[in-house]
């Protein structure tokens, strides 16, 4: 009898577990898609000997440098900090949200893409002013990155209008075009430049501002949106079939190159689920430890003005500075940001 009860109980648990994995509701509607063939990463160079700047800085996702050369970053707990020469961090503001991309205006005001609070601006005293939180009645759920034109127009991304910063996995598993690229004008008007983007992430203007780039993380590509007269809001592919998940993109000081951070290399398990929506639902019901995870692999691409790969900086070791979410060149050095690290990375490319 005892063996029968054990067998019955085991069978019942298996049935309940199977029903849960196959039928429990999930908060997303997965679409079928086909991953593009992976392009070669280009000439590979080591991304090693990365110096660590600061300490106890949880998630310095992006970096901004002011006119005095001082490094700023935003943290998971809402703080925006400025680093001193000794590595200590001075809090200049707290948005109460999750500051991600940021850039200084010419007059010294810091503009911040806050995933929770929207598009923000800080004055010299650290006071926070909200610039925009929605467009067309659709709230920004994941304000992500930005760049600023010479005329003061802010170009910024809303990664997903369906899933916020704490639910990016659901957006990835759904794999639908939930992202937007927008422009905020000095008169307060917000303009939609392009919607239908697959996780609209990093943003960078061309030197002559004839176009703006926006990364589409789930599509392994960077899209170019034209700004020149007669072509405004037309778009094409700047680079696709990337060997990893593109994150932030920044223009180099010479104006002829871009630095593209790859969060992680492509994952065969994720690509293998592309055409299997039901399997993606099953994966979502699994404990996080059993779901596909990004590899610890530092990865940054140097691109020319036409989107060709000039160099691929990589460090695949588990103790590498990874994941790299942004790379900003200043005075011949690359300042690296990360979603999970506790410090900013500093690398001197050769």
Residue 223 parent element (H or E)? strand 221-226
Q: Is the pLDDT of residue 10 over 70?
A: no
- Rounded to 5 degrees, φ, ψ at 56 are 50, 50
Averaged pLDDT, 165-184: 96
Question: From its phi and psi, is residue 96 left (phi > 0), alpha (psi between -120 and 50) or beta?
Answer: left
Q: Is the pLDDT of residue 204 over 60?
A: yes
pLDDT band at 186, cuts 50/70/90? very high
Q: Is the pLDDT of residue 187 over 60?
A: yes
- Rounded to 5 degrees, φ, ψ at 311 are -160, 150
Q: What is the per-residue pLDDT for 25?
A: 78
Q: Look over the chain and give the mean of its residue pLDDT values, rounded to a whole number.
A: 93
Q: What is the per-residue pLDDT for 344?
A: 98
Q: Is the pLDDT of residue 16 over 90?
A: no
Prediction pTM value:
0.93
Q: Is the pLDDT of residue 220 over 70?
A: yes
Question: What sign has the CA pseudo-torsion 260, 34, 211, 303?
Answer: positive
- Rounded to 5 degrees, φ, ψ at 176 are -125, 160
Asked if 210 and 238 touch (Cβ cutoff 8 Å), the reply is no
Helices (H), 199-264: none
pLDDT band at 262, cuts 50/70/90? very high
Distance (Å) of CA 289 to CA 6, 151, 283, 285, 293: 28, 47, 11, 11, 8
Q: Is the pLDDT of residue 69 over 60?
A: yes
Distance (Å) of CA 66 to CA 25, 102, 177, 236: 47, 11, 34, 33
Averaged pLDDT, 247-276: 97
Q: What is the per-residue pLDDT for 85?
A: 80
Return d(Cα 137, Cα 19) in angstroms, integer.
39
Averaged pLDDT, 296-325: 97
Asked if 113 and 119 touch (Cβ cutoff 8 Å), the reply is yes
Q: Is the pLDDT of residue 19 over 50?
A: no
Q: Is the pLDDT of residue 350 over 90?
A: no
What is the DSSP code (8-state) at residue 247? E
Strands 309-315, 44-46: parallel, antiparallel or unpaired by DSSP? parallel
Q: Is the pLDDT of residue 215 over 50?
A: yes
- Among 9-18, 145-154, 158-167, 220-229, the minimum mean pLDDT is found in 9-18
Per CATH, the homologous superfamily of domain 58-347 is TolB, C-terminal domain (2.120.10.30)
Return d(Cα 318, Cα 320) in angstroms, integer.
6
- Among 45-59, 279-293, 299-313, the minimum mean pLDDT is found in 279-293
Q: Is the pLDDT of residue 185 over 70?
A: yes
């Amino acid at each position: 009898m005892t063996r029968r009860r054990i067998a019955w109980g085991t069978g019942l648990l298996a049935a309940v577990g199977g029903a849960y994995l196959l039928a429990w509701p999930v908060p997303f509607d997965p679409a079928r898609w086909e991953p593009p063939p992976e392009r070669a990463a280009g000439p590979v160079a080591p991304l090693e000997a990365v110096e660590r700047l600061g300490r106890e800085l949880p998630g310095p996702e992006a970096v901004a440098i002011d006119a005095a050369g001082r490094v700023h970053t935003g943290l998971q707990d809402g703080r925006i900090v400025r680093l001193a020469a000794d590595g200590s961090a001075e809090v200049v503001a707290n948005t109460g949200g999750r500051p991600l991309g940021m850039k200084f205006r010419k007059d010294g005001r810091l503009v911040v893409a806050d995933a929770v609070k929207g598009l923000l601006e800080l004055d010299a005293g650290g006071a926070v002013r909200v610039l925009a939180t929605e467009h067309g009645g659709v709230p920004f759920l994941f304000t992500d990155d930005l760049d600023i034109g010479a005329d003061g127009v802010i170009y910024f991304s809303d990664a997903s209008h369906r899933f916020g910063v704490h639910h990016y996995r659901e957006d990835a598993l759904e794999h639908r075009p939930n992202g937007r690229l927008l422009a905020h004008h000095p008169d307060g008007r917000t303009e939609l430049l392009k919607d239908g983007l697959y996780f609209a992430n990093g943003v960078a203007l061309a030197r002559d501002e004839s176009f703006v780039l926006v990364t589409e993380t789930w599509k392994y590509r960077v899209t170019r949106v034209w700004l020149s007269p007669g072509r405004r809001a037309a778009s094409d592919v700047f680079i696709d079939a990337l060997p990893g998940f593109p994150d932030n993109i920044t223009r180099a000081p010479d104006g002829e190159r871009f630095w593209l951070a790859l969060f992680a290399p492509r994952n065969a398990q994720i690509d293998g689920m592309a055409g299997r929506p039901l399997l993606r639902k099953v994966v979502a019901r699994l404990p996080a430890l059993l779901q596909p995870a990004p590899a610890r692999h530092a990865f940054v691409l140097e691109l020319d003005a036409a989107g060709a790969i000039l160099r691929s900086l990589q460090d695949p070791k588990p103790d590498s500075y990874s994941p790299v979410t942004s790379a900003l060149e200043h005075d011949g050095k690359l300042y690296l940001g990360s979603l999970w690290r506790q410090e900013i990375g500093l690398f001197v490319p050769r």
